């Protein structure tokens, strides 16, 4: 299985390659990619240099152009596709049907992957992208169990499947969520951001700390309670029957223990989330998963990396892969 690692900066790309990534994924510094955060991502020159660095060391570079092009202004997205091809990207990660069509027609030899933002959650959707645009791989949304992943992988072969194994966890079907823009006006699909820091505020009150997003209280923390970032779907809310983490506890995904099952399922590539994270995160997580994968491939005793200290939340989950809630 290939290990696909995040690179929010050229430095992170080099760290990931040196730590054992088979491929890194990254994007241009604008709203064409789904991690459009201040200070992140690549200029055109940096992308060319990054590709050269990775290729010299036998690693691949996958360029994400995975937001949805703005109506009446699709130019920047098409330029990102053209420039990534020009830079020597090994694959483009795309979500928008119109942009997939453009890339397939304009660059017929270019390898295309379907982004998780396209929410291809079943074999029929995957086959649609294969037949319409000749895609070679699909990144599966984090809503499937391992058994469902295995069924999809079998059904869509030779199209490859890639799954997230570590990092931030969307609990909603990716690419189909407007919660962030309902509160802030900024969305993953249109702006490449979710619950953006520009709309976050923390306020001290007599009873503790309040975290807000776009003016809505997302969580409150008592004295001494660790305060988390107010990602909307990880907040505490009140409903008739219950008050608490309505959608998901503030957990991160860690599917390291499932690597043998994912290999058995026929998964081609494992993806680590976190283009917004620093070099220490990238190096630590990539090295740990490289070691776990090597052990798995060589039949050595498999030890789960145990990366709790590198997660964003207070604890980890295997997410939908093991659906305790079904």
Annotated binding site for [4Fe-4S] cluster: 170, 177, 194, 233
What DSSP line would sit under 233-302, residue for residue? Answer: GGSEEE-SS-EEESS--SEEEE-GGGHHHHHHTT--EEEE--TTS-HHHHHHHHHHHHHHHHHHHHTPPP
Q: Is 200 among the residues that bind other proteins (CB under 8 A)?
A: no
Tell me whether residue 74 or residue 295 sits nearer to other proteins (CB atom). Answer: 74
Cis bond leading into 158, ω under 30°? yes
Closest CA to 5 of 174, 165, 173: 165
Report the C-alpha gap between 104 and 5 in whole angstroms: 25
| Least distance (Å) between residue 122 CB and other proteins | 5
Element (H, E) at 211: strand 208-213
Tell me whether residue 53 or residue 245 sits nearer to other proteins (CB atom). Answer: 245
Report the C-alpha gap between 42 and 29 in whole angstroms: 5
Distances (CA, A) of 12 to 17, 41, 65, 78, 286: 8, 10, 19, 26, 11
Q: x/- contact string, 30-69, with other proteins (CB under 8 A)?
A: --------------------------------------xx
The single residue among 48, 125, 228, 291 that binds other proteins, judged by CB under 8 A, is 125
Tell me whether residue 58 or residue 73 sits nearer to other proteins (CB atom). Answer: 73
The single residue among 218, 253, 256, 259 that binds other proteins, judged by CB under 8 A, is 218
| Least distance (Å) between residue 118 CB and other proteins | 7
Element (H, E) at 316: strand 315-317
Distances (CA, A) of 219 to 155, 228, 231, 260, 316: 42, 8, 10, 37, 19
- Evaluate whether 310 touches 19 at the Cβ level (below 8 Å): no
Sites for other proteins among residues 98-117 (CB under 8 A): 98-99, 101-102
Q: Is 185 among the residues that bind other proteins (CB under 8 A)?
A: yes
Number of residues that bind other proteins (CB under 8 A): 68
Q: Is 183 among the residues that bind other proteins (CB under 8 A)?
A: yes
Contacts of 311-315 with C-beta under 8 Å, sequence gap 24+, read 311/167, 311/251, 311/252, 311/254, 312/167, 312/168, 312/228, 312/229, 312/252, 313/228, 313/234, 313/249, 313/250, 313/251, 313/252, 314/226, 314/228, 314/250, 314/251, 315/249, 315/250, 315/251, 315/252
| Least distance (Å) between residue 301 CB and other proteins | 33
The single residue among 82, 88, 122, 266 that binds other proteins, judged by CB under 8 A, is 122
The single residue among 32, 66, 161, 187 that binds other proteins, judged by CB under 8 A, is 187
Q: Is 321 among the residues that bind other proteins (CB under 8 A)?
A: no
- Evaluate whether 54 touches 91 at the Cβ level (below 8 Å): no
Q: Is 223 among the residues that bind other proteins (CB under 8 A)?
A: no
The single residue among 161, 189, 231, 318 that binds other proteins, judged by CB under 8 A, is 189
Q: Is 243 among the residues that bind other proteins (CB under 8 A)?
A: yes
Tell me whether residue 198 or residue 304 sits nearer to other proteins (CB atom). Answer: 198
| Least distance (Å) between residue 78 CB and other proteins | 9
| Least distance (Å) between residue 16 CB and other proteins | 29
| Least distance (Å) between residue 103 CB and other proteins | 11
Q: Which residues bind other proteins (CB under 8 A)?
A: 68-74, 95-99, 101-102, 118-125, 127-129, 131, 143-144, 148, 151, 171-173, 175-179, 181-185, 187, 189-190, 210, 214, 216-220, 233, 236-243, 246-247, 320, 323, 325-326
């Amino acid at each position: 299985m290939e290990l696909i690692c995040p690179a929010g900066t050229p430095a992170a790309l080099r760290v990931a390659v040196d730590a054992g990534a088979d491929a890194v994924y990254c994007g241009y510094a604008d709203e064409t990619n789904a991690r459009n955060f201040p200070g992140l991502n690549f200029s055109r020159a940096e992308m060319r240099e990054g590709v050269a660095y990775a290729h010299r060391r036998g690693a691949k570079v996958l360029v994400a152009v995975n937001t949805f092009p703005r109506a009446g202004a699709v130019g920047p997205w098409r330029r990102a596709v053209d420039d990534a091809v020009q830079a020597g990207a090994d694959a483009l990660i795309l979500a928008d049907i119109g942009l997939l069509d453009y890339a397939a027609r304009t660059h017929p030899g270019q390898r295309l992957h379907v982004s998780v933002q396209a929410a291809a959650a079943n074999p029929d959707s995957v086959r649609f992208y294969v037949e319409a645009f000749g895609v070679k791989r699909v990144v599966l949304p984090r809503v499937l169990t391992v058994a469902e992943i295995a069924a999809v992988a079998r059904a869509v072969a030779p199209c490859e499947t890639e799954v997230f194994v570590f990092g931030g966890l969307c609990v909603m079907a990716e690419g189909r969520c407007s919660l962030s823009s309902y509160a802030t006006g900024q969305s993953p699909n249109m702006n490449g951001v979710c619950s953006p820091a520009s709309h976050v505020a923390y306020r001290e009150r007599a009873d503790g700390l309040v975290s807000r997003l776009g003016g809505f209280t997302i969580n409150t923390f008592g004295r001494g309670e660790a305060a988390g970032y107010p990602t909307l779907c990880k907040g505490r809310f009140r409903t008739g029957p219950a008050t608490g983490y309505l959608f998901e506890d503030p957990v991160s995904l860690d599917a390291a223990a499932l690597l043998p099952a994912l290999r058995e399922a026929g998964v081609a590539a494992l993806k680590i989330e976190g283009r917004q994270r620093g070099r220490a995160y990238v190096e630590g997580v990539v090295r740990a998963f490289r070691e776990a994968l090597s052990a798995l491939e060589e039949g050595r005793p498999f030890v789960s990396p145990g990366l709790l200290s590198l997660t964003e939340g207070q604890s980890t989950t295997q997410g939908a892969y093991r659906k305790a809630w079904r």
